[in-house]
Amino acid sequence: MFWRKSQPQEDDSAERDAKVRELRTAIGPLSGRSLKYCTDGCLRRYLEARNWNLDKAKKMLEDTLKWRETFKPEEIRWHEVAHEGETGKVSKANFRDRMGRTVLIMRPGMQNTTSAEGNVRHLVYLIENAILNLPEGQEQMSWLIDFNGWSFNTHVPISTARDIIYVLQNHYPERLAIIILYSPPKIFEAFYKVVKYFVDQKTSKKINFIYPNNKSSMELMKTFFDTENLPSEFGGKATLKYDHEEFSRLMVQEDIKTAKYWGFDDKASNNVNGCSEAGMAPEPLDLAQPAS
């Protein structure tokens, strides 16, 4: 009796493992960073993102490998994007969600630059680092977005938002667990009505609008985060203060970890072209922007 009940799940798991092997065969031999990137878990995420359609998953993965070869996200270093982070518009939290996932905190009201490439590179850098710091057995991260100070004068252009969404959905499939939009103003609705057309159905289901004056909304928030660790800006009890110099020192050390993971020397992490650990940056490298 018990064997019969568990059989369908085991069959489903076996079929998915077979699909992963099929996808690996379909993409052909890999080497270097592409080989390291294409773990079984990675292939499974691409298949999941395309509802286990082999041809669509193969196309998606091949597009990502081409993008990574051009954009080189694993080579981005903090000194190249530090100027984008001076206001703390995006940073990695010093706490995790209830599932132990890495948390990225975003403050669109702190937007400080107009460079589309700079904004994308900065976020990609932090996404790569968030993934590198996921605990064993966990593949997804959480995003907390604080709308304090947001206005049409501070928001990123629609085109930049589109590029960010494109990169996230097409090159980091199944890496996002939840997005919390905390206390968005009513005028954000007009902006979101445009942006949501670029958001696929799977990503859309992960977006949660949370309002501090709504009890059920805050109860939902508590299911994702421990209020003891959650900053007061998000209805918690902790204090959140972004210190750019301190964060820069942390990310310089993270750059060393990144270099070690990808298997190349990274002497440039500590001081490149006179850049200090505090985050003084040279002009960003001229790398291709992702297709839209």
Distance CA 26, CA 73 (A): 24
Q: What percent of the chain has pLDDT over 70?
A: 85
CA distance 210 to 203: 17
Express each pLDDT in 18-59 by its tens digit: 999 999 999 999 999 999 999 999 999 999 999 999 999 999
Band (169; pLDDT cuts 50, 70, 90): very high
Q: Looking at 88-102, 144-158, 166-180, 271-285, which range is the least confident one?
A: 271-285
Q: Hey, what are 8's tokens?
A: 């369908």
DSSP letter assigned to residue 264: -
Three-state secondary-structure class, residue 51: coil
pLDDT: which is higher, 3 or 106 = 106
Per DSSP, what are the bridge partners of residue 182?
146, 210
**Residue 161: per-residue pLDDT:** 83
Average pLDDT over residues 97-118: 91
> What mean pLDDT comes out for the span 98-113?
92
Tokens coding 269: 């992490």
For residue 193, what pLDDT is reported?
A: 85
34 by Cβ neighbours in 10 Å (0-12 / 13-18 / 19+) ranks as: middle
The model's pTM is: 0.85
Task: Indicate whether 271 pLDDT > 60.
Answer: no
